[in-house]
Amino acid sequence: MSELIESSIDQAVELAESTANAEKVNLLGLSRAKMEAFFLSIGEKKFRAEQVLKWVHHHRVDNFDDMSNISKSLRERLNETAEIRGPEVVSSHFSEDGTCKWVVRVASGSCVETVFIPENGRGTLCVSSQAGCSLDCSFCSTGKQGFNSDLTVAEIIGQVWIAARHFNNVPAKMDRSITNVVMMGMGEPLMNFDNVVDSMDLMMDDLGYGLSKRRVTLSTSGVVPALRKLSEVSNVSLAVSLHAPNNELRNSLVPINRKYPLDQLLDAIHHYMNSLTDSKRVVTIEYTLLAGVNDQPEHADQLVVLLKDVPCKINLIPFNPFPHSGYERPSNNAIRRFQERVQLAGYNVTVRKTRGDDIDAACGQLVGNVMDKTRRSERHIAARQL
């Protein structure tokens, strides 16, 4: 861990030095270690990092002149060398059920989406990590948009910053609108490893958003080497997008399974969970139910056997339709039968409520506006026209 911290400091120093005579350093994207390194690199004391982090993340200030406990001379220097710049909010959408969606433009020119879901005194913010997604899961509208770019730390944590500004979210350890953050938006978080880890660190830092490790969740489709690496640097909650109980079916639904099949994924899940000091924590298994595809009794039975040694809770997600997906949502009866069959085996099984579908903010519906570098979106459109 000390080597990782030293590496972060070295990177921040290099960043500050390289941008001293070029573009300004965006302080919104600096973790505590990198913020301290930035101030040391300009000849200031480390405690300045604590002051600025609080102004940025607790008070959501983007103007150095508003930082009243910082000297005028330092504010002037910061105005010359640094900035606090979040992603541009292109549009905001508000659902009848209280769900909020922001469409934000990132540096690559693409737009990504962030969703806030309120429910029973809990406010969950779903954050994107990439513009598009490189994994192309067959039932996800984000994957059909292709892939453009990884988001920077400022673009990831900036989504939390934007939402906190909207709700006038109060500082850490007090009542607040945003109680949980899930890395379940556009993109595969583990494919943007370093930026996602730094962002989650800011979410959990008391100088950032003060969320507990139980209230920050990373969801992955199964990038096995990166999941193993995550156990060395983080202890956030883990969710795994499973969606199929056997390799043959999962290969078609979640293509990364062809590279990292279920036995490797389950081994990596065990490795991560065993690395946590809290033995009571469990992994959340996400399973999107597709009518006639993975929602049959035999699939429920296979899922029971597959997860028999995995400390988990299972979250069933009825498919949320999008144009030309080729899939349909199962009937309520089929969803209930699947749930009951798995529950009878002793598992904790919930069915995720569909929220924000009237503003296309439900799970699997996020599309944004991706300037696709992969030409995958062209291929999907061409295939639909045949």
Q: Which of 48, 83, 118 is the last residue of a domain?
A: 83
* pLDDT-based confidence at residue 360 (cuts at 50, 70, 90): low
Q: Same structural domain for residues 240 and 368?
A: yes
Q: What is the CATH number of the domain that holds 108?
A: 3.20.20.70
Q: Same structural domain for residues 53 and 67?
A: yes
Residue-wise pLDDT for 60-104, tens only, equals 999 999 999 999 999 999 999 999 999 999 999 888 888 899 999
Distance CA 361, CA 261 (A): 30
Distance CA 219, CA 190 (A): 9
Q: Which of 53, 83, 113 is the last residue of a domain?
A: 83
Phi and psi of 89, rounded to 5°?
Answer: -80, 115
Q: Same structural domain for residues 371 and 308?
A: yes
Phi and psi of 368, rounded to 5°?
Answer: 60, -140
36: annotated active-site residue: no
Distance CA 30, CA 199 (A): 9
Q: Same structural domain for residues 211 and 150?
A: yes
In the block, tokens 């910082």 appear at 70
Q: Which of 31, 66, 83 is the last residue of a domain?
A: 83
Q: Same structural domain for residues 66 and 136?
A: no
- How far, CA to CA in Å, does 162 sit from each of 84, 157, 285, 364? 12, 9, 29, 22
Distance CA 284, CA 261 (A): 18
User: Measured on CA atoms in the order 25, 30, 32, 37, is the torsion positive or negative?
Assistant: negative
Q: Same structural domain for residues 29 and 164?
A: no
Residue 47: burial class (beta carbons within 10 Å; 0-12, 13-18, 19+): exposed
* pLDDT-based confidence at residue 364 (cuts at 50, 70, 90): very low
Report the number of distinct structural domains present in the chain. Answer: 2
Instruction: Tell me what percent of the residues of the chain surpass a pLDDT of 90.
Output: 71
Q: Is 272 helix (H, G, I), strand (E, B) or coil?
A: helix
Strands (E), the chain: 25-26, 82-83, 88-94, 100-105, 111-119, 122-126, 130-132, 147-150, 180-183, 216-220, 237-241, 283-289, 312-318, 349-351
Distance CA 256, CA 363 (A): 20
Residue-wise pLDDT for 313-351, tens only, equals 999 999 988 777 789 999 999 999 999 999 999 999 999
- Looking at the predicted structure, is the pLDDT value of residue 383 above 70? no
Q: At what angle do helices 193-204 and 224-233 cross, to 10 degrees?
A: 40
Q: Same structural domain for residues 71 and 110?
A: no
C-beta atoms surrounding 370 within 10 Å: 26
Q: What is the CATH number of the domain that holds 43?
A: 1.10.150.530
Q: Same structural domain for residues 285 and 362?
A: yes
Give me the mean pLDDT over the 242-271 stretch.
98
Strands (E), 319-386: 349-351
Q: Same structural domain for residues 329 and 235?
A: yes
Question: How many CA atoms does the CB half-sphere of 225 hold within 13 Å?
Answer: 5
Q: Same structural domain for residues 49 and 146?
A: no
Q: Same structural domain for residues 288 and 143?
A: yes
Amino acid at 342: V
- Which one of 113, 155, 188, 286 is the catalytic residue? 113
Model's pTM, two decimal places?
0.86
Residue 233 and residue 272 in contact, taking contact as beta carbons nearer than 8 Å: no
What is the chain's length?
386
List the domain range (segments joined by +) for residue 6. 2-83
Residue 344 and residue 301 in contact, taking contact as beta carbons nearer than 8 Å: no
Which of 114, 28, 118, 13 is CA-nearest to residue 64? 28
- Looking at the predicted structure, is the pLDDT value of residue 225 above 80? yes
Residue 28 and residue 158 in contact, taking contact as beta carbons nearer than 8 Å: yes
363: annotated active-site residue: yes
For residues 180, 219, 108 and 111, what is the CA-based torsion angle, rounded to 10 degrees?
A: -60
- Which one of 100, 111, 137, 363 is the catalytic residue? 363
- How far, CA to CA in Å, does 3 sit from each of 6, 7, 229, 233? 5, 6, 14, 11
Question: 88-94 and 100-105 as β-strands: parallel, antiparallel, unpaired?
Answer: antiparallel
Q: Same structural domain for residues 100 and 79?
A: no
Q: Is 232 helix (H, G, I), strand (E, B) or coil?
A: helix
Distance CA 154, CA 322 (A): 30
Residue-wise pLDDT for 128-174, tens only, equals 999 988 888 888 877 677 888 999 999 999 999 999 998 875 444 44
Q: Return all residues near 386 (Cβ < 8 A) that are at least 6 apart.
A: none
Residue-wise pLDDT for 50-59, tens only, equals 999 999 999 9
